[in-house]
Amino acid sequence: MRAYYMKTQESHARLTDLAVPTPGPGEIRVAIRACGLNFADLLMQKGTYQDTPRAPFTLGMEISGTVDAVGAGVTTLVPGDRIAVYSGQGGLADYGVFDAARAIKLPETMPFHHAAAFQIAYGTSHMALAYRARMQPGETLLVTGAAGGVGLSAVEIGKLMGATVIAQARGADKLEVARAAGADHLIDASEDLRARVLELGGADVVYDAIGGETFKAAFRACNPEARLLPIGFAGGEVPQIPANHLLVKNLTVIGFYIGGYLKFRPEAVTQSLRTLIDWYLEGRLTPHVSNILPLERVEEGMTLLRERRSTGKVVITM
């Protein structure tokens, strides 16, 4: 089988022929049909992601496909079942072996490319906004990097939860994508973010995927008792938060990493995904996939992420 494989942490990931794996107890083998790309895949290649596996490993964090074989003790799934798995690794391959407990059955009406684009972006945004920030209807949500995978899902979910959504992105095309997802107000990345948000009444919740100066400007545009979620650092700089400034407006900075919940509260992730799939079936969520590429073009997909030329998700198909 083919796999986008990192042999050592110092080597570059490349397509490699590997043996088809055998599932062990509690595991399933999946014939992978699609894998969503994430900014974290780029960080893993550099060894800078907070949850980088030890090499050798196959990249690819979220997959969809069909169960091909089951290991001992697996009774909830059978070969042929359509499933999605938040795998953390191993997704950019023709086959993968995963913990059966992480698999979620897919409705027949959900295409594989939507399922592969769904779990991390929507799961992160839903749990961050609903479970961690406890955002309420009528509050104002500021989303930075609003045309990216997690940012766009935050716009969509924020609107569903009854928030007024301010979306920041770079360029008219990306802002139009955010507007179509439900954003009430649009701010170009070239504008003064702090000034524009304050003109709109300030932010009650900040969902920041950029970091650096963008986070600092959003921080200064917060209303009293606002909650800030530093979701990612696509701009390359991890912001340093002045604790004394938190006191003045009684602000709260909330850490959130969905992968951590898979380790200590996996049922919270599962319940969130069930809610999201229900919303999808009701037509309330529409995953935006800007690029669908075959596995042979995975490097092209990574470049789209690296150069920020995609909107929503990039999906690799097998």
Report residue 213 as tokens.
């100066």
The β-bridge relationship of strands 185-188 and 203-208 is unpaired
Count CA atoms closer than 13 A to 73's CA, side-chain side. Answer: 8
How confident is the model at residue 62, as a pLDDT? Answer: 95
Structural domains present in the chain: 2-118+287-317 (3.90.180.10), 121-257 (3.40.50.720)
Write down the H helix ranges in 129-285. Answer: 149-160, 172-180, 193-199, 212-219, 243-249, 258-264, 266-281
Give the other-Cβ count within 10 Å of 235's Cβ: 19
pTM: 0.88
Task: Give the DSSP letter of residue 297.
Answer: G
pLDDT tens, residue order, the chain (318 aa): 999 999 988 788 999 999 999 999 999 999 999 999 998 899 899 888 888 888 999 999 999 999 999 999 999 999 999 999 998 999 999 999 999 988 999 999 999 999 999 899 999 999 999 999 999 999 999 999 999 889 999 999 999 999 999 999 999 999 999 999 999 999 999 999 999 999 999 999 999 999 999 999 999 999 999 999 999 887 778 888 888 889 999 999 999 999 888 888 888 888 898 899 999 999 999 899 999 999 999 999 999 999 989 988 999 999
